[in-house]
Amino acid sequence: MTSIQTSSRSPSARPEITADLEARTGLDEAVLRELVHAFYDKIRKDPVLGPIFAARIDDWPPHLERMTAFWSSVALMTGRYHGAPVPKHVGLPIDWGHFERWIMLFRETATEICTPAGAAHVVERAERIARSLNFAVQDARGTGIPNLA
């Protein structure tokens, strides 16, 4: 049975690991929720990335909830996210330049909202996932070697 422990601030399938990550990074569900909301506020105003999201997302609250669960899983290992990001990105009109812009806004927001250790923790993971999403997007497009420049 999955255990949900109340001593951790984030309900987690791995409460001890989550509590340790929270202590080391200063991140918790509330901080990640604030990060996600602030980040997508910037994304929506961005002249390059904003229109790509606007064309696909009508109802923002469920997307923001999903992204908070995603970051809870990625940063705190809570297992809250059950989804498949790759198919949602394959077919988007994006290349590595779009991912670089996404990362730049994410880093800026994380630096504003998180502790230095927390920002470093999420940015490192965002960069890694961005590279793998870019690989999947370019690979599906059949352009040969993905554009990692």
Given the rule CB under 6 A, which residues bind ligand HEM?
A: 49, 52-53, 56-57, 66, 70, 83, 85, 88-89, 92, 94, 98-99, 102, 126, 129-130, 133
For residue 32, the number of C-alpha atoms closer than 13 Å in the C-beta half-sphere is 27
- Residue number of the CB closest to ligand HEM reads 83
Of 14 and 131, nearer to ligand HEM (C-beta) is 131
The nearer residue to ligand HEM, 5 or 136, going by C-beta atoms, is 136
CB of 1 to ligand HEM, least distance (A): 25
Over its C-alpha atoms, the chain yields an Rg (Å, rounded) of 16
Q: Which is nearer to ligand HEM, 13 or 129 (CB)?
A: 129
Least separation in angstroms between CB 58 and ligand HEM: 10
Q: Name residues whose C-beta falls within 8 Å of residue 82's C-beta, 6 or more positions apart in sequence.
A: none
Identify which of residues 9 and 89 has a Cβ nearer to ligand HEM in the complex: 89
Please report how close the Cβ of residue 55 comes to ligand HEM at its closest, in angstroms.
8
Minimum CB distance to ligand HEM, residue 6 (Å): 27
SS3 15: helix
Which value, to the nearest 10 degrees, does the dihedral of the CA atoms of residues 132, 133, 139, 141 take?
A: -170
Between CA 127 and CA 102 the distance in angstroms is 10
Cβ–Cβ < 8 Å for 16, 76: no
